[in-house]
Copies of this chain bind each other. A is one copy, B any other.
Amino acid sequence: MFDYTLCAEDGAARAGTFTTPHGDVRTPAFMPVGTVGTVKGLIMEEVERLGAGMVLANTYHLYLRPGHELVRRLGGLHAFMRWDGPILTDSGGFQVFSLASIREIHDDGVEFQSHIDGSRHAFTPESVMEIQRALGADVVMAFDECPPGGADRATAEAANRRTLAWLERCRDRFRELEDESEGPEQALFPVLQGNVYGDLRREHARSFRDMDDWPGYGIGGLSVGEAKGDMWRILELLHGELPDDRPRYLMGVGYPDDLLEAIARGCDLFDCVAPTRNARHGTAWTSEEGQVNLKAARFREDTRPIDPGCDCYTCSRYDRAYLRHLVVSAEWLQVRLLSIHNLRFLVRLGEEARRRIGDGTFDGWRRDWLERYRKQRSPA
């Protein structure tokens, strides 16, 4: 049921089709984040109209609320959140390490306290597979240890070893669960770690490939505070280490310029809360003026859409003057309209990259696009 077809390449950049039980995802593709089973403020018909092929939901959040067993009883995540397209759930690891308060990390798993009510919980590689089985996403992620950006080599090395050991346990439990019940068809992606250490990255990738033939690869431990140059260097290295015929999901990226840079280095799938978080702060992306904050007084009587080249609902219907009024008045509609624009902006960037890769004009286009975007970029 899962398959990745590479349709075209331009340098390291790839255009492909990732087939899942809930439909095809044409890559490169940005996945909107539906943290607790809702893309903040949007109905799923709107998400579909954005052209989003696949959405992401967070295991950590759904485990705490409403609980994975409840989601299972209600028919699984697709039915629960009214989305018939492909879904990917993360492992919960990133949230446990960044959001919850950790009580203990040991070889068996992680003990943590809920960020909601302080209640105590534990994730193990096995339990994370069970939770994601109950949620029923198409793609599930292996439980990994993600050290913070700036971690020293010894820490990164230890996290790599643990992630590798956990991966084996994830795979075994994942297979057991598949055998136990008809359940949903799912693909398990491992998560590559190794921080900014090239040799650890290479070693991790090779160990993963030795362990199994994975349907896709998650690239973790980037965009966690390291220098941009380090991220690009690691992606270039991984491009040579990962199989051509499997999708590569760069976790937590990103902003428009980072997305293009990562596509240029062979990444296929992306997710980030930046589009919706920026929407909450009144910030929108434009191709001609970079990132703008609509609160600025210069938009007071500006009757142009946010981005005249954009085909989203917001740009087709509203002008900057009205959107500025919503932002200044802290109105609910602001979040919705700016989220639609920012999400469409990234989805469209993936679409255009794919087209450019197909006709061999990706690299020149990317350079021009980035130059224009960065030159105009105003401080948010």
A interface, CB within 8 angstroms of B = 36-38, 40-43, 65-66, 70, 73-74, 80-82, 300-301, 303, 313, 317-318, 321-322, 324-326, 328-329, 331-333, 335-337
Contacts and interface: CB of A to CB of B under 8 A. Distances in A.
29 contacts: A36-B331, A37-B322, A38-B326, A38-B332, A40-B331, A40-B332, A40-B333, A41-B332, A42-B333, A43-B313, A43-B317, A43-B333, A43-B337, A65-B328, A65-B329, A66-B321, A66-B324, A70-B300, A70-B301, A70-B321, A73-B301, A74-B303, A80-B321, A80-B322, A80-B325, A82-B317, A82-B318, A82-B322, A332-B332
Nearest to A65: B329
Contacts of A41: 41, 332-333, 336
A37 B328 CA distance: 13
A284 B378 CA distance: 43
Given A66-B324, A66-B325, A80-B321, 10 more contacts: A36-B329, A40-B332, A41-B336, A43-B336, A43-B337, A66-B321, A70-B301, A82-B317, A82-B318, A332-B336
Most buried by B among A73, A82, A325, A336: A325
A245 to B, nearest CB: 38
Nearest to A328: B65
Contact of A325 (B36, B42, B318, B329): B36
A74 B321 contact: yes
Each complex incorporates copies of this chain amounting to 2
Contacts of A37: 322, 325
Nearest to A325: B66
A333 B321 CA distance: 25
Given A43-B333, A332-B335, A74 B38 contact: no
A301 B74 contact: yes
Contact of A328 (B66, B81, B331): B66
Nearest to A276: B332
